[in-house]
A = this chain, B = another copy of it.
Protein backbone atom coordinates (compact mmCIF):
# COMPACT_ATOMS: atom_id res chain seq x y z
CA UNK A 1 0.00 0.00 0.00
CA UNK A 2 2.83 2.35 0.76
CA UNK A 3 4.02 2.42 -2.79
CA UNK A 4 0.53 2.61 -4.10
CA UNK A 5 -0.90 5.60 -2.33
CA UNK A 6 1.94 8.02 -1.84
CA UNK A 7 5.12 6.62 -3.22
CA UNK A 8 7.94 9.12 -3.34
CA UNK A 9 9.66 11.63 -1.22
CA UNK A 10 8.42 10.75 2.24
CA UNK A 11 10.53 9.69 5.20
CA UNK A 12 9.33 6.68 7.10
CA UNK A 13 8.34 9.02 9.89
CA UNK A 14 6.13 10.86 7.49
CA UNK A 15 4.78 7.60 6.19
CA UNK A 16 3.65 6.54 9.61
CA UNK A 17 1.84 9.82 9.98
CA UNK A 18 0.15 9.15 6.70
CA UNK A 19 -0.87 5.74 7.85
CA UNK A 20 -2.59 7.07 10.93
CA UNK A 21 -4.54 9.16 8.51
CA UNK A 22 -5.76 6.36 6.29
CA UNK A 23 -8.07 5.32 9.05
CA UNK A 24 -10.20 2.88 7.17
CA UNK A 25 -10.78 0.74 4.15
CA UNK A 26 -14.02 -0.13 2.48
CA UNK A 27 -15.12 -2.83 0.14
CA UNK A 28 -17.37 -2.05 -2.79
CA UNK A 29 -19.34 -4.75 -4.59
CA UNK A 30 -19.40 -5.00 -8.35
CA UNK A 31 -21.87 -2.45 -9.68
CA UNK A 32 -22.07 -0.63 -6.35
CA UNK A 33 -21.27 3.10 -6.13
CA UNK A 34 -18.50 4.26 -3.82
CA UNK A 35 -19.93 7.75 -4.17
CA UNK A 36 -22.41 9.42 -6.45
CA UNK A 37 -22.46 12.72 -8.26
CA UNK A 38 -23.92 15.21 -5.80
CA UNK A 39 -22.70 13.41 -2.66
CA UNK A 40 -20.86 15.58 -0.19
CA UNK A 41 -17.12 15.31 -0.61
CA UNK A 42 -15.11 14.48 2.45
CA UNK A 43 -12.55 11.89 1.45
CA UNK A 44 -10.35 10.91 -1.39
CA UNK A 45 -9.72 7.25 -2.07
CA UNK A 46 -7.04 4.93 -3.37
CA UNK A 47 -8.11 1.72 -5.07
CA UNK A 48 -6.52 -1.09 -3.09
CA UNK A 49 -7.85 -4.01 -5.11
CA UNK A 50 -10.13 -4.38 -8.10
CA UNK A 51 -11.03 -1.53 -10.42
CA UNK A 52 -13.58 1.25 -10.73
CA UNK A 53 -15.09 3.52 -13.34
CA UNK A 54 -16.10 7.14 -12.91
CA UNK A 55 -19.25 8.47 -14.53
CA UNK A 56 -20.55 11.93 -15.19
CA UNK A 57 -24.11 12.81 -16.23
CA UNK A 58 -25.45 15.41 -18.65
CA UNK A 59 -28.39 17.53 -17.62
CA UNK A 60 -30.65 15.19 -19.58
CA UNK A 61 -29.53 12.22 -17.51
CA UNK A 62 -27.30 10.50 -20.08
CA UNK A 63 -24.23 9.16 -18.32
CA UNK A 64 -20.75 8.87 -19.75
CA UNK A 65 -17.73 7.00 -18.43
CA UNK A 66 -15.06 9.60 -17.72
CA UNK A 67 -12.39 7.45 -16.15
CA UNK A 68 -11.04 4.02 -15.26
CA UNK A 69 -9.12 3.45 -12.01
CA UNK A 70 -6.97 0.41 -11.50
CA UNK A 71 -5.54 -0.79 -8.20
CA UNK A 72 -3.18 1.79 -6.75
CA UNK A 73 -4.78 4.77 -8.45
CA UNK A 74 -6.46 7.73 -6.78
CA UNK A 75 -10.15 8.46 -6.85
CA UNK A 76 -12.45 11.23 -5.73
CA UNK A 77 -10.52 14.35 -6.71
CA UNK A 78 -13.62 15.51 -8.59
CA UNK A 79 -15.12 16.62 -5.28
CA UNK A 80 -12.45 19.08 -4.18
CA UNK A 81 -13.56 22.09 -6.13
CA UNK A 82 -17.18 22.25 -4.98
CA UNK A 83 -17.17 20.14 -1.80
CA UNK A 84 -19.57 17.90 -3.71
CA UNK A 85 -18.66 15.07 -6.05
CA UNK A 86 -19.02 15.92 -9.74
CA UNK A 87 -18.73 12.28 -10.81
CA UNK A 88 -19.98 8.95 -9.55
CA UNK A 89 -17.58 6.10 -8.90
CA UNK A 90 -18.81 2.55 -9.53
CA UNK A 91 -16.95 -0.73 -8.97
CA UNK A 92 -16.25 -2.77 -12.10
CA UNK A 93 -15.62 -5.82 -9.93
CA UNK A 94 -15.63 -6.50 -6.19
CA UNK A 95 -13.06 -4.01 -4.99
CA UNK A 96 -11.59 -2.40 -1.90
CA UNK A 97 -10.49 1.19 -1.40
CA UNK A 98 -8.50 3.08 1.20
CA UNK A 99 -10.31 6.08 2.58
CA UNK A 100 -8.22 9.23 3.12
CA UNK A 101 -10.19 11.92 4.96
CA UNK A 102 -9.60 15.15 3.11
CA UNK A 103 -9.56 17.41 6.18
CA UNK A 104 -6.80 15.40 7.81
CA UNK A 105 -4.91 15.20 4.53
CA UNK A 106 -4.98 18.97 4.17
CA UNK A 107 -3.58 19.36 7.66
CA UNK A 108 -0.80 16.92 6.87
CA UNK A 109 0.00 18.81 3.68
CA UNK A 110 0.55 21.93 5.70
CA UNK A 111 2.81 20.21 8.18
CA UNK A 112 4.88 18.24 5.72
CA UNK A 113 5.98 19.98 2.57
CA UNK A 114 6.69 16.74 0.75
CA UNK A 115 3.08 15.75 1.32
CA UNK A 116 1.96 19.04 -0.12
CA UNK A 117 4.17 18.38 -3.11
CA UNK A 118 2.65 14.93 -3.56
CA UNK A 119 -0.85 16.31 -3.35
CA UNK A 120 -0.19 18.98 -5.95
CA UNK A 121 1.37 16.46 -8.26
CA UNK A 122 -1.55 14.08 -7.83
CA UNK A 123 -3.97 16.81 -8.85
CA UNK A 124 -1.69 18.04 -11.63
CA UNK A 125 -1.29 14.55 -13.04
CA UNK A 126 -5.04 14.15 -13.24
CA UNK A 127 -5.25 17.43 -15.16
CA UNK A 128 -2.69 16.24 -17.70
CA UNK A 129 -4.29 12.82 -18.07
CA UNK A 130 -7.64 14.36 -18.77
CA UNK A 131 -6.17 16.77 -21.29
CA UNK A 132 -4.66 13.78 -23.10
CA UNK A 133 -8.04 12.08 -23.08
CA UNK A 134 -9.61 15.20 -24.55
CA UNK A 135 -7.07 15.08 -27.35
CA UNK A 136 -7.86 11.46 -27.99
CA UNK A 137 -11.60 12.14 -28.19
CA UNK A 138 -11.13 15.21 -30.30
CA UNK A 139 -8.79 14.03 -32.97
CA UNK A 140 -8.40 10.27 -33.24
CA UNK A 141 -10.35 7.78 -35.32
CA UNK A 142 -12.18 4.89 -33.68
CA UNK A 143 -9.29 2.53 -34.44
CA UNK A 144 -6.75 4.92 -32.99
CA UNK A 145 -8.81 5.45 -29.84
CA UNK A 146 -9.15 1.76 -29.12
CA UNK A 147 -5.45 1.17 -29.73
CA UNK A 148 -4.51 4.12 -27.59
CA UNK A 149 -6.77 2.91 -24.80
CA UNK A 150 -5.30 -0.60 -24.82
CA UNK A 151 -1.79 0.83 -24.74
CA UNK A 152 -2.72 3.10 -21.84
CA UNK A 153 -4.09 0.23 -19.77
CA UNK A 154 -1.11 -1.89 -20.69
CA UNK A 155 1.27 0.81 -19.51
CA UNK A 156 -0.59 1.38 -16.27
CA UNK A 157 -0.47 -2.34 -15.60
CA UNK A 158 3.25 -2.34 -16.16
CA UNK A 159 3.73 0.56 -13.75
CA UNK A 160 1.98 -1.42 -11.07
CA UNK A 161 4.13 -4.47 -11.67
CA UNK A 162 1.58 -6.52 -13.57
CA UNK A 163 1.83 -7.87 -17.07
CA UNK A 164 1.69 -5.22 -19.74
CA UNK A 165 0.90 -7.80 -22.39
CA UNK A 166 -2.05 -9.56 -20.84
CA UNK A 167 -4.85 -8.30 -18.63
CA UNK A 168 -8.49 -8.48 -17.73
CA UNK A 169 -10.49 -5.41 -18.60
CA UNK A 170 -13.54 -5.55 -16.41
CA UNK A 171 -15.37 -2.90 -18.35
CA UNK A 172 -18.12 -3.96 -20.74
CA UNK A 173 -17.92 -2.96 -24.41
CA UNK A 174 -20.55 -0.39 -23.59
CA UNK A 175 -18.37 1.15 -20.87
CA UNK A 176 -15.41 1.22 -23.22
CA UNK A 177 -17.50 2.81 -25.93
CA UNK A 178 -18.81 5.42 -23.55
CA UNK A 179 -15.29 6.21 -22.38
CA UNK A 180 -13.92 6.34 -25.91
CA UNK A 181 -16.78 8.28 -27.42
CA UNK A 182 -18.12 5.54 -29.67
CA UNK A 183 -20.79 2.84 -29.68
CA UNK A 184 -20.33 -0.59 -28.19
CA UNK A 185 -20.74 -2.11 -31.65
CA UNK A 186 -17.83 -0.11 -33.01
CA UNK A 187 -15.68 -1.15 -30.05
CA UNK A 188 -16.50 -4.78 -30.70
CA UNK A 189 -15.84 -4.50 -34.43
CA UNK A 190 -12.55 -2.73 -33.82
CA UNK A 191 -11.34 -5.37 -31.39
CA UNK A 192 -12.30 -8.08 -33.89
CA UNK A 193 -10.41 -6.26 -36.61
CA UNK A 194 -7.31 -5.96 -34.42
CA UNK A 195 -7.54 -9.66 -33.69
CA UNK A 196 -7.76 -10.53 -37.39
CA UNK A 197 -4.71 -8.36 -38.03
CA UNK A 198 -2.82 -10.24 -35.33
CA UNK A 199 -2.38 -7.23 -33.08
CA UNK A 200 -4.23 -8.60 -30.08
CA UNK A 201 -5.92 -11.73 -28.83
CA UNK A 202 -9.24 -11.24 -27.09
CA UNK A 203 -11.59 -13.58 -25.34
CA UNK A 204 -14.31 -11.46 -23.90
CA UNK A 205 -12.77 -9.32 -21.19
CA UNK A 206 -9.39 -11.01 -21.32
CA UNK A 207 -7.01 -9.19 -23.63
CA UNK A 208 -3.52 -10.13 -24.76
CA UNK A 209 -1.39 -7.75 -26.73
CA UNK A 210 0.37 -9.76 -29.43
CA UNK A 211 2.01 -7.06 -31.56
CA UNK A 212 2.85 -4.06 -29.41
CA UNK A 213 4.65 -2.04 -32.11
CA UNK A 214 1.86 -2.80 -34.53
CA UNK A 215 -0.72 -1.53 -32.07
CA UNK A 216 1.32 1.63 -31.50
CA UNK A 217 1.23 2.59 -35.14
CA UNK A 218 -2.46 1.95 -35.76
A residues within 8 Å of B by Cβ? 56, 58, 62, 64, 66-67, 77-82, 86-87, 106, 109-110, 113, 116-117, 119-121, 123-128, 130-135, 137-139, 178-181
**CB pair B179 A138 closer than 8 Å:** yes
**CB pair B86 A138 closer than 8 Å:** no
One of B66, B113, B123, B138 near A124 (C-beta < 8 A):
B123
One of B78, B79, B123, B132 near A56 (C-beta < 8 A):
B132
As for how many copies of this chain the complex holds, the number is: 2
One of B110, B119, B128, B181 near A137 (C-beta < 8 A):
B181
Please, could you name 6 A-B residue pairs with CB atoms under 8 Å apart, sorted by A?
A: A66-B135, A78-B124, A86-B128, A87-B131, A110-B116, A134-B134
Q: A110-B113, A124-B80, A124-B81 are in contact. Are A86 and B131 (CB under 8 A)?
A: yes
A35 to chain B, nearest CB (A): 14
Which DSSP category, helix, strand, loop or mixed, fits chain A's interface?
helix
Chain B residue nearest in CB terms to A177: B138
**CB pair B135 A78 closer than 8 Å:** no
One of B64, B82, B134, B178 near A130 (C-beta < 8 A):
B134
Instruction: Kindly list chain B residues whose C-beta atoms are within 8 Å of the C-beta of A64.
Output: 134-135, 138-139
One of B66, B86, B113, B179 near A106 (C-beta < 8 A):
B113
Chain B residue nearest in CB terms to A130: B130
**CB pair A116 B127 closer than 8 Å:** no
Chain B residue nearest in CB terms to A83: B121
* Given A119-B120, A123-B127: 8 more A-B contacts, CB < 8 Å: A56-B131, A77-B127, A78-B124, A79-B124, A110-B116, A123-B124, A133-B134, A139-B178
